[in-house]
Amino acid sequence: MSELAWIFVSALLVNNFTLSYFLGLCPFFGVSSRLDTAFRLGLANVFVLVITSLAAWALETFVLLHAPYLRLISFIVVIASTVQFVEMVIRKLSPALFRALGIFLPLITTNCAILALALFQTSRGYGLLQGLVFAVGAGLGLTLALVLMAGLREEARLSDIPAMVRGTAMNLLIAGILSLAFMGFAGLFSGTG
């Protein structure tokens, strides 16, 4: 049980996908100008990551044993089509949920965080349950980073910052400081081994 907890906290804080692996930076900088949008994008990410984890586990267990060199291609194709399929199911079953998350789903599918989750899960040899915990932790980690970034950017809009610095340079510096702060979590587990 403690191993699962470690996987979760590690993906959420210590090895945060955005702030220490630089994954999913496009939405991190692109969709983080408003807090509520950022939060919903984060939740859509959790959703896609869970599907990805299931799909990658199934592929790895039942198909790729015989053809490891097809891993990358099959991951991409299967993940993209599964997300599309689930999107259609949600649109049918729950239009409200679809309106909240739907527009982000196609955007997320080509996000590097998604493919990275599948690859990390495979290379670390996680099973089904470990994979799911990893996916939820990583997704919540992405959400946390997005929400923090959006909040900081909303504040920054009101403060007196030279026009020259505004834009990507400022966002990168903010991200750098956030990333520094998250490095503080690195010692979280060293004591307990």
Partner 1 sequence: MSLPVQDPHTAYAELIKGLWRENPVFVQVLGMCPALAVTNTAVNGLAMGGATLFVLVMSSLLVSSLRRLIPKAVRISTYILIIATFVTVADYVLQALSPAVHRELGAFISLIVVNCIILGRQEAFASKNRVLPAIADAAGMGGGFTLALVILGGAREVLGKGALFGLPLFGESFEPWVVMILPPGGFLMLGAILLVFSYVAEARKRLAARLDQEAAE
Judged by beta carbon, residue 23 or residue 43, the one nearer partner 1 is 23
Judged by beta carbon, residue 36 or residue 187, the one nearer partner 1 is 187
Closest CA to 52 of 89, 81, 92: 81
Nearby residues of 83 by Cβ (< 8 Å), 6 or more positions away: 48, 51, 52, 105, 108, 109
What minimum distance in Å lies between the beta carbon of 105 and partner 1?
15
What minimum distance in Å lies between the beta carbon of 40 and partner 1?
22
What minimum distance in Å lies between the beta carbon of 112 and partner 1?
4
Judged by beta carbon, residue 5 or residue 188, the one nearer partner 1 is 188
Closest CA to 44 of 125, 107, 134, 110: 107
What minimum distance in Å lies between the beta carbon of 85 and partner 1?
14
Query: How far apart are alpha carbons 14 and 90 in whole angstroms?
Result: 33
Residues that bind partner 1 (CB under 8 A): 19-26, 29, 69, 72-73, 76-77, 80, 110-112, 114-116, 119-120, 123, 164-165, 167-173, 175-177, 179-180, 183
Biggest CA pair distance of the chain: 59
Amino acid occupying residue 178? L
Judged by beta carbon, residue 22 or residue 98, the one nearer partner 1 is 22
